[in-house]
Structure formats: C-alpha cells, structure tokens
Amino acid sequence: MGKWKDKRTSYKRVMRTYTIPDLLETFNLLKTKHPQYLFYSKVYGITMTAVPYNYISQHYKPEEKLARILKTSKKDLLQTKLTNFVNFVSRKSSVASDNFGITGSILLDIHNPKFSDMDVTIYGLQNSLKVKKALTRAYVEPDSSVERFEGAILDDWCRKKVARFPLSFDEARRIYERKWNLGVFEDVMFSVHPTHVEKELTEKYGDRTFRSEGQVTLHAVVADDDESSFLPCVYRVRDVKVIEGKQVNTDILELVSYESLYDSLANTGEEIVVKGKLERVHDNRNATEHYRVLVGSPEGKGKEYIKRVD
C-alpha cells in the first residue's frame, strides 16, 4: 500500500484496498482514461477488467521469481526473511520449495524492506493442505518462528476490516480465528495463498454461464469446504433457507466468494448467513441449471458478506 520508489521510477497504487468500492472507482478511472482494459464478459454477464493479449509486455511468474531469490547470494533484508520463511514452511510441511512462489510487491521488485510484507503462493491442493496443517501446528509450538496476529496488530487488522466490510469488531476477530494463512515471521507480516495447478482444473472459461437474479440473504449449512482456501473460495451448501430475495432454496448449491477475507471461514457442517448476488448457472456441457450465490460482486457495492453462526 502507498508509494514505492527505485532508481528508475516511482509507483503509486491506484486501487488502494482490495474491496468492491475501490474496484468500482478503478472501473471509473479505466472507463475515462484506459477503456481498452475493460471487457464485457458474455460468460459472467458483467463488465470486468482484462488486459488484451497484445498489451501484455511481460508475464511475472511467482514460482520463477522465488526460485531466483532462493538461489541468489545478493538479497536485501526482506528477501532474506522470505528465504528463511519458505525454508521454514517447506521443512515443517515436507513440501519442496519449488512448489512455492512469491507475489505482491516482491514479485515486481517494488517492495520496501522496511515495511513490505510477504505474499507467498503455494501450488496444488494437497500441498496447500500440508502447509495449512504445518502452520496451524507451528503457531502453538513453544518459541515458534511464526506467530498469529495478537494485541495491537490484531486490533488494527480488525479495525481495517470493520471500516471496509459490513462487519462488527467482534465478527472481524472471529473471522481471523480461522485465518491459518495470515501471521508474522521474523517481525514481518506474511500471507499464504493456495493456488491450483493446471491438472487440478476441471472447468474452462465458457463451460458455464452466469446470470444475475438479484440480491439475496440466506442461511445455509456448509456441505463441502474443500475449495474454501482458494480464491475464489467455494463452499458447497445444503439446507438453504432464503431470508430475503428470490425463493429458490433447494436449487442453491454453492457459495462463491471473490473477497479473500472469507476464505477458510467455515468448515463442513457449520452454519453460515450470507448476503450476495444470486446467479443462475447454466452448465453448457450437460444443459443443466442450478443457482449459486456470489459474494464480492460489483452490484453488491461492498455490502455483501459471509458470517459463521455458532
């Protein structure tokens, strides 16, 4: 967040936070100054940001960047801590370091060693589960190298979420209770982002089409949380009861969130309350239809949410 400088140029983040209100501001900026980066998707039925192929000058790959950092002897302080962190998690999880990557400011070499954090990717479902188990265990070990947010750091995290999402302070704290992938290592904040590998993907763009049916609020039970650590995170749901909006209870089969705040929020068998965009899903492969609820839609204007019911 903020500004970065190197010897050649300076950078300023246009999208200040990863929230829908700021995304909508970015849409307005692109519409005025760079309309070529806006694309209407017939698949999703919405306008979204996209880079035309002929505008791509370089593809930054997190796994390749991390591999170079791990091998080089010339590291700044943050890159050294990143190396230590990846080696630590690799050892604890028995997942080889070539299954990790680095994104965010470090990927682009625009990080500031004094305040930037470490945004690490982990590739593959099984590798992600191993890393989740290893970090969860490491947090409670005596004299551990990784720590969860506590005290002033946790309070600050919660206040920021309350300011940006329709949550109370206590609800934000309860969300963090499930955040296995956010913590502190050697006084640096880190995040870990599970990412599917290509062989795990079962769906191509255009296999399904999505059409909005308006906003809904519902109560449901999580039927399957296997995809809840990824982005978008997916929860299969059952026993759905629509509280507000179109009554299609039995046909709502999944909940999808593009807000990373809600990943890993609820486990299989737990109850949730959701506000989001109801979408009719048409599967072009077998001509079947069902509904899903999307959290993090432009239409929701930042008022959509997922909350766990205890």
H-run or E-run covering 125: helix 125-139
Q: What is the CA radius of gyration of the chain?
A: 20
Q: What is the mean pLDDT of residues 30-58?
A: 94
Specify the length of the chain in residues: 310
For 247, the 3-state DSSP assignment is: coil
Q: What is the mean pLDDT of residues 151-167?
A: 96
- pLDDT for the residue 19: 76
Q: Is the pLDDT of residue 1 over 50?
A: no
- pLDDT for the residue 21: 78
The two tokens of residue 246 are: 């179109």
CA–CA gap between residue 128 and residue 86 (Å, rounded): 13
DSSP state of 4: E
> CA torsion, points 104, 163, 255, 297, in degrees to nearest 10?
-80
CA–CA gap between residue 139 and residue 258 (Å, rounded): 27
> Poorest-confidence range of 4-13, 19-28, 177-186?
4-13
**Residue percentage of the chain with pLDDT more than 90:** 88
CA–CA gap between residue 77 and residue 115 (Å, rounded): 11
Q: What is the pLDDT of residues 80-98, one digit of tens each?
A: 999 999 999 999 999 999 9
DSSP state of 280: E
- pLDDT for the residue 278: 98
Count other C-beta atoms under 10 Å from residue 295's C-beta. 23
89 neighbors 133 (Cβ within 8 angstroms): no
- Find the helix packing angle between 77-93 and 62-71, rounded to 10°: 100
308 neighbors 261 (Cβ within 8 angstroms): no
Question: Position 95: which residue type?
Answer: V
Q: Is the pLDDT of residue 10 over 70?
A: no
In the chain, alpha helices (H): 20-33, 62-71, 77-93, 104-108, 125-139, 151-164, 169-176
Q: What is the pLDDT of residues 104-118, one digit of tens each?
A: 999 999 999 999 999
Task: Please name each of the domains of the chain with its CATH number.
Answer: 3-55 (no CATH), 62-198 (no CATH), 206-309 (2.40.50.140)
Q: What is the pLDDT of residues 192-243, one digit of tens each?
A: 999 999 999 999 999 999 999 999 999 999 999 999 999 999 999 999 999 9
